[in-house]
């Protein structure tokens, strides 16, 4: 910009100055005040690609995630009823019915594990996270000994008070030993207080009844938490996510959150649920470590992995009629990737189905038994972390800024 030394001043000079100054100031104000940390910006209609992303978020949230939570809430209610019946009768048939109700509930929850968007997610890492997931299922934060200590203390008799207990003594994970462990032993070390101080031996005769009562309390809390999670979504978070708000100013940011939840398959399913018992992680010091499997008492570890894959598939493909990530890939010119990912999901599911028995049985027969499933899921997560993120321009939720890519 070059300014002449002498410029004739006329009656319009002030207006001219304002005309020149206003756009300049506006530009500087917009750059200075907005930005990645400047709060929500008004979404525009955008073009067809933007519209597709908006539709995908709406469809995945309202036709995949909310129905998954609704189904789980119904299963949690059935579990509450079944455990209450077992508590009241103490019969083996009712215990078996409670076990079956737990299996139905955990199967549905394992699908929802890959949908930890918003309230279910961890508070410090998930956008809108409220830690509600841990109250329902806190794995890998589990502690059989703490559950047995609660059996001694009987704090579970007061449901409301028990709701304030740590997540590792309630939820579906705490219910697993209560429903599936038989016998008189406990999960604590000999020097633990319940063994050292002789607190366990006096309750051995009451164990079946105590376990049933504790399970009923835990199931009541799971039902409560499931209802709370569903209510949180239907009562505002669904609108927050689909209509653009402070948490998700754009559909792209909501998609980022959805894709981030899908990484459960990489970090938890592949690197923990499979790599640790398969002896691929140095957490396992022996050749294989079946004791590091997820489901120690109901022996449903492989089924849990399969249900994680089913949940992943549901998010990837969306509902029957709605837009899923696969549709977005096609719209963005990556039809082959959409096909490859779907094939990888189905291949991993087929591999899981081909494993006979649960982890201990499979590893006893063949120490490499989990390798095909591990590799099948890795093939899928490689696609997820590379071309999938690239084509859809998905970012980590907490990424700050960059000029290098």
For another protein, the binding residues in 134-173 under the rule CB under 8 A are: none
**Stretch touching another protein by CB under 8 A, among 137-145, 178-186, 217-225, 333-341:** 333-341
Q: Which of 35, 185, 235, 357 binds another protein (CB under 8 A)?
A: 35
Specify the residue, 46 or 187, whose C-beta has the smaller distance to another protein: 46
CB of 57 to another protein, least distance (A): 11
b (16+ CB within 10 A) / e for 174-211:
bbbbbbbbeeeebbbeeebebbeeebbeebeeebeebb
Q: Which of 74, 155, 239, 389 binds another protein (CB under 8 A)?
A: 389
Q: Is 385 one of the binding residues for another protein (CB under 8 A)? A: yes
Tokens at 232, concatenated: 């949180």
Q: Which of 93, 287, 356, 366 binds another protein (CB under 8 A)?
A: 287
Specify the residue, 174 or 257, whose C-beta has the smaller distance to another protein: 257
> What's the first-to-final CA gap in the chain, in angstroms?
31
Specify the residue, 152 or 389, whose C-beta has the smaller distance to another protein: 389
Q: Is 33 one of the binding residues for another protein (CB under 8 A)? A: no
Please say whether the beta carbons of 363 and 290 come within 8 A: yes
Tokens at 150, concatenated: 């609660």
Q: Which of 59, 252, 299, 308 binds another protein (CB under 8 A)?
A: 252
The number of residues that bind another protein (CB under 8 A) is 78
Question: CA separation (Å) from 73 to 78, 194, 229, 315, 346?
Answer: 9, 35, 9, 19, 27
Question: CA separation (Å) from 150 to 145, 165, 199, 386?
Answer: 9, 10, 11, 46
Binding mask 258-277 for another protein (x = CB under 8 A): --------xx---x---x--
**Stretch touching another protein by CB under 8 A, among 98-106, 126-134, 224-232, 387-395:** 387-395
What single DSSP character describes residue 60?
I
Binding mask 208-247 for another protein (x = CB under 8 A): ------------------------------------x---
Tokens at 281, concatenated: 């992680």
Specify the residue, 193 or 336, whose C-beta has the smaller distance to another protein: 336
Binding mask 2-31 for another protein (x = CB under 8 A): xxxx-x---------x--xx--x--xx-xx
Specify the residue, 54 or 62, whose C-beta has the smaller distance to another protein: 54
Tokens at 177, concatenated: 């030993």
Tokens at 25, concatenated: 């100031």
Q: Which of 199, 247, 330, 347 binds another protein (CB under 8 A)?
A: 330
Q: Which of 36, 197, 246, 320 binds another protein (CB under 8 A)?
A: 36
Cβ-based burial of 325 (10 A; exposed 0-12, middle 13-18, buried ≥19): buried
Give dist(CA 61, CA 84) in Å, integer. Answer: 33
Please say whether the beta carbons of 374 and 104 come within 8 A: no
């Amino acid at each position: 910009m070059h300014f002449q030394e002498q410029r004739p001043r006329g009656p319009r000079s002030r207006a001219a100055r304002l005309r020149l100054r206003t756009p300049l100031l506006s530009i500087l104000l917009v750059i200075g005040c907005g930005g990645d940390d400047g709060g929500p910006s008004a979404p525009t209609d955008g073009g067809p690609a933007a519209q597709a992303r908006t539709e995908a978020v709406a469809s995945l949230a309202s036709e995949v995630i909310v129905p998954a939570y609704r189904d789980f809430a119904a299963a949690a209610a059935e579990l509450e009823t079944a455990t209450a019946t077992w508590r009241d009768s103490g019969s083996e048939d009712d215990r078996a019915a409670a076990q079956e109700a737990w299996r139905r509930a955990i199967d549905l929850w394992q699908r929802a594990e890959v949908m930890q968007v918003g309230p279910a997610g961890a508070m410090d890492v998930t956008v809108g996270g409220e830690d509600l997931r841990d109250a329902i299922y806190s794995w890998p934060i589990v502690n059989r000994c703490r559950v047995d200590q609660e059996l001694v203390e009987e704090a579970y008799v007061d449901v409301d008070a028990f709701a304030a207990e740590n997540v590792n003594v309630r939820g579906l994970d705490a219910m697993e030993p209560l429903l599936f462990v038989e016998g008189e032993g406990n999960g604590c070390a000999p020097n633990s207080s319940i063994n050292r101080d002789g607190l366990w031996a006096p309750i051995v005769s009451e164990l079946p009844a105590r376990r049933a009562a504790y399970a009923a309390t835990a199931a009541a809390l799971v039902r409560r938490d499931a209802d709370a999670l569903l209510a949180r979504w239907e009562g505002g978070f669904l609108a927050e996510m689909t209509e653009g708000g402070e948490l998700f100013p754009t559909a792209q940011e909501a998609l980022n959150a959805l894709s981030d939840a899908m990484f459960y398959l990489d970090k938890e399913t592949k690197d923990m649920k499979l790599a640790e018992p398969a002896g691929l992680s140095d957490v396992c010091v022996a050749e294989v470590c079946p004791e590091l499997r997820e489901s120690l008492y109901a022996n449903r570890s492989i089924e849990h992995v399969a249900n994680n894959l089913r949940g992943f598939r549901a998010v990837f493909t969306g509902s029957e009629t709605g837009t899923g990530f696969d549709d977005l890939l096609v719209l963005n010119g990556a039809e082959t990737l959409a096909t490859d990912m779907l094939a990888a999901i189905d291949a991993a599911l087929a591999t899981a189905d081909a494993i006979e028995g649960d982890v201990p049985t499979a590893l006893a027969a063949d120490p490499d038994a989990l390798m095909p499933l591990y590799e099948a899921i890795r093939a899928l997560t490689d696609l997820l972390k590379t071309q999938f993120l690239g084509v859809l321009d998905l970012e980590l939720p907490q990424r700050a800024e960059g000029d290098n890519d």
